[in-house]
Amino acid sequence: MQKIPKSADLDLPVIARATPGFSGADLANLVNVAALHAAKTGLKEVGMRSMEYARDRIMMGAERKSAAISERSRRLTAYHEGGHALVALYTDGADPVHKATIVPRGLSLGMVTQLPDEDLVNMSRRQMLARLDVAMGGRVAEELIFGPDDVTTGASSDLRMATSLARAMVTKYGMSERLGQVALDYDDSHSMSSETRAAVEDEVRKLVQGAYERAKTVLTKHERDLHRLAAELLEKETLSGEQIKTMLGVRVVEAAAAAVNAVGKREGSSGGTTAAGAM
């Protein structure tokens, strides 16, 4: 990175948080891709725009500029990603929204990127519940706007992530009141009785269903914001977290304050999110 001319807007801590798990070789590749992007776009220095491009290309694949995406699919994607973003904005414990896009990449039609304010060493139950809520936001938005019979397969990765996280909460982190403070080897069929396995699955369903219900409450309450955000995504295709918050105004701040006041009630519930799903 020292040999690359850097723009004043280059924020290395943000890049570090946006590339968890990257090896030294991965980071070197990131810088090379960013430098190539800067050169191709006529920039003399590497800035955040080129770094964002490089990160997205490496993690999500190249932009599919020639992809024939129908207008209906674009609308579905805009509402799906808007649902993720809004639930993240209005949910206490959720990582801040960094970017929302409906630009197709790899196998994805869009994505919402969240970045924690600081490096995460451990996660609280509240943060995990928030990740579950955000994961369900896309499916809920589709159902709310287009109806239950027109939800798509776009939420499949969200559902897998939510199920995996909920199962980890129950079997690894002792976050189930029913099963208690125990660690269970779910993958070992010999160490767990059929009754315990059924109890685990029941707790997982409760956690995911609880996240679905909370996401539905948020998006029903803020449906007007969902329409505004989807329309803006359809027009601009990519929005930063700051652009989204500016567009929605002070209501996000007010909602966050209200969410903090509701933490006690929320953490006391036994039932039932950072990447939010790429559709």
Residues noted as catalytic: 81
Tell me the C-alpha distance between 212 and 205, whole Å. 10
Beta carbons of 142 and 80 less than 8 angstroms apart? yes
Specify whether the CB–CB gap between 111 and 154 falls below 8 A.
no
DSSP SS3 for 65? coil
117 sits in which H/E element: none
Listed as own residue / partner, the contacts of 45-51 with beta carbons closer than 8 Å and 24 or more positions apart are: 45/5, 45/6, 45/7, 46/4, 46/5, 46/6, 46/7, 46/10, 47/6, 47/7, 47/8, 47/9, 47/10, 48/7, 48/9, 48/10, 48/11, 48/14, 51/10, 51/15
From the list 136, 112, 130, the residue with the least C-alpha distance to 244 is 112
Report yes or no: 270 and 72 within 8 Å, Cβ to Cβ.
Answer: no
Residue 225 tokens, joined: 């914001």
